[in-house]
Amino acid sequence: MNSAPSRAARVLTVGLLASLLGPATVAAAEPSPLEAALTAVDAKVIAWRRDLHQNPELSNREFRTSRLVAEHLRTLGLKVRTGIAHTGVVALLEGGRPGPTIALRADMDALPVTEMVDVPFKSKATATYRGETVGVMHACGHDSHTAILMGIAEAFAQLRPGLPGKVLFVFQPAEEGAPAGERGGASLMLEEGVFDLATPEAIFGLHVMSTLNVGTIGYRGGPLMAGSDSWRILVKGKQTHGALPWAGIDPIVISAQIINALQTIVSRQIDITEIPAVVTVGAIKGGIRNNIVPDEVEMIGTVRTFDAAQRRDILDRMARIVEKTAAASGTTASFTVDADSNPVVLNDRALTEAVVPSLRKASQDVRTVPLVTGAEDFAFFATKVPSFFFFVGITPPDQNPATAASNHSPLFYIDEAGIPIGSRALANVAYDYLLASQGAQAR
């Protein structure tokens, strides 16, 4: 009696299949069906990426992007759901043979950044963010993620008759965080039934990175990217004339004292020899005139950690510094932490080991990378099913990635030669995992 192969058996088998069907084998033979299908959509992927780059949309406002994605998926004959977490799109492709269900995820939102890169498809879009008119730019590469997954969906649709199992394509809004007063992103998608069409046994995703050259793929088993907490400090003061500061309480001076004290948490108060941590003040706002002491100052920022106990310790220290510093000046200050904090991006170690050979079909330069203090709300999906998340280099080969403009910079630049590598890396990871179900059953 044949029973369905377990996920563990597939994890063991996928590495063997990938190694047997590696680059040397492929190079010596005709292009594989998957490679042929991906090659057929390469030009479309670049065109989609440029269109999305020229028409970026902020978190929870990805209206045009989600329509473009949903229309494409429907033309492929997939089951499509829209409106998940406001603008999210999910589609299910059912293969022609029995097998496991997996999920592939891409994020769709852009950032409140004014583009300074002179490309023909440069973004000139603007929007309102935190009450101000801002430029909007795909300064983190989500345009390429979306285009890559659209292309993989089309390639897999071409292979559907011989494809074992099911693939859930998840196009996620608001990875960069929902606007103030709203919810969004991966956590809300999970609450609203992102896996209702089908429950995956594993989920995969990628991120383009300026810290790697084109041709390099980076990964790490276990913790990969930091958990992040967004916080807000409100310092109360007493308004007075700027010429009579003693008649009031100056929240700007108190805020400066708080900022300086916060920096000592990482530099002087916790042990970071094994696990790094970051405390950053990202914005400070208070006052309107040069000669008026304001009545309050607001600060917002982020904390990045890789360990739950360390996270609690840092947040406790921050609250104490904020409250005691304000009290020492005869006033009060509040410290609040966003309820939708990102967990650590945690790659399943067994799954990671199994799929790394599949990455080498896309590039021979596949390497482990250090811990990344950047955060990713892909982490929420990884709390529900085993996951694997990896990085794809997009900095030109002749440029030092250490000095390249970083993700989130107005100068962030994608060498489009890295996009087909990303397509093939993610597609091969998924394809080999599905094929492993057939190999495991044969065993």
Residues 6+ apart with CB under 8 A from 36: none
> What is residue 161's DSSP assignment?
G
Amino acid found at 46 = I
For the chain, list residues with pLDDT below 50. Answer: 1-4, 24-28, 440-443
CA–CA distance, 56 with 77 (Å, rounded to integer): 27
Helix (H, G, I), strand (E, B) or coil at 129: strand
Q: pLDDT digits over 178-213, tens only?
A: 998 899 999 999 999 999 999 999 999 999 999 999
What Rg, from alpha-carbon coordinates, does the chain have?
24
Angle between helices 349-359 and 418-442 (to 10 degrees): 120
Are the beta carbons of 137 and 56 closer than 8 angstroms? Answer: yes
Are the beta carbons of 338 and 377 closer than 8 angstroms? Answer: no
CA–CA distance, 304 with 345 (Å, rounded to integer): 12
b/e code 370-385 from CB counts within 10 Å (16+ = b): ebbbbbbbbbbbbeeb
How many residues are given for the chain? Answer: 443
Spell out the domain ranges in the chain. 7-225+344-442, 227-337
b/e code 41-58 from CB counts within 10 Å (16+ = b): beeebbebbbebbbbbbb
β partners of residue 202: 102
Give the pLDDT of residue 7: 67
- The domain made up of 7-225+344-442 has a fold known as Aminopeptidase (3.40.630)
Tokens at residue 36, please?
């042929």
Are the beta carbons of 209 and 421 closer than 8 angstroms? Answer: no
pTM of the model: 0.86
Angle between helices 7-20 and 418-442 (to 10 degrees): 120
Residues 6+ apart with CB under 8 A from 298: 232, 233, 234, 235, 284, 285, 286
Give the pLDDT of residue 220: 97
Are the beta carbons of 160 and 97 closer than 8 angstroms? Answer: no
Tokens at residue 115, please?
């583009």
Are the beta carbons of 7 and 386 closer than 8 angstroms? Answer: yes
CA–CA distance, 190 with 95 (Å, rounded to integer): 24
Give the pLDDT of residue 27: 47
Helix (H, G, I), strand (E, B) or coil at 107: strand
Give the pLDDT of residue 439: 67
**Which of 308, 441, 302 lies closest to 17, judged by CA?**
441
- The domain made up of 227-337 has a fold known as Alpha-Beta Plaits (3.30.70)
Give the pLDDT of residue 159: 98
Amino acid found at 151 = G
Tokens at residue 348, please?
């399943």
Residues 6+ apart with CB under 8 A from 154: 37, 41, 44, 72, 76
**Which of 284, 287, 285, 303 lies closest to 295, judged by CA?**
287
Give the pLDDT of residue 30: 80
